[in-house]
Amino acid sequence: MGGLSIWHWIIVLVVVLLVFGTKRLRNAGQDLGEAVKGFKKGMKDDDKPAGQLGDQSRGDDAGSESKDRDRDAR
């Protein structure tokens, strides 16, 4: 009852590839990477005071309103 050898891990990897396929595994890896990046960004933004976080969304709204006005003026 020892540990798993390299051959056991290779067999497990082959079975997983056959079951899920490379495309699904690649998409799962990308999703996991984006989730980790979002988590790190959220932890970094957590240090900012609450008043500074809302300023970013207000700036985006003002930009879209000015684009609407420019389009209506034409």
pTM of the model: 0.44
Over residues 19-29, the pLDDT tens digits come to 999 899 999 99
Over residues 17-72, the pLDDT tens digits come to 999 998 999 999 999 999 999 999 988 876 666 555 555 555 555 555 555 656 66
Tokens at 36, concatenated: 């980790």
Angle between the N-to-C axes of helices 6-20 and 22-45, in degrees from 0 to 180, rounded to the nearest 10: 100
The one-letter code for the residue type at 32 is: L
Q: What are the C-alpha distances in Å from 36 to residues 16, 26, 39, 45, 48? A: 23, 15, 5, 14, 20
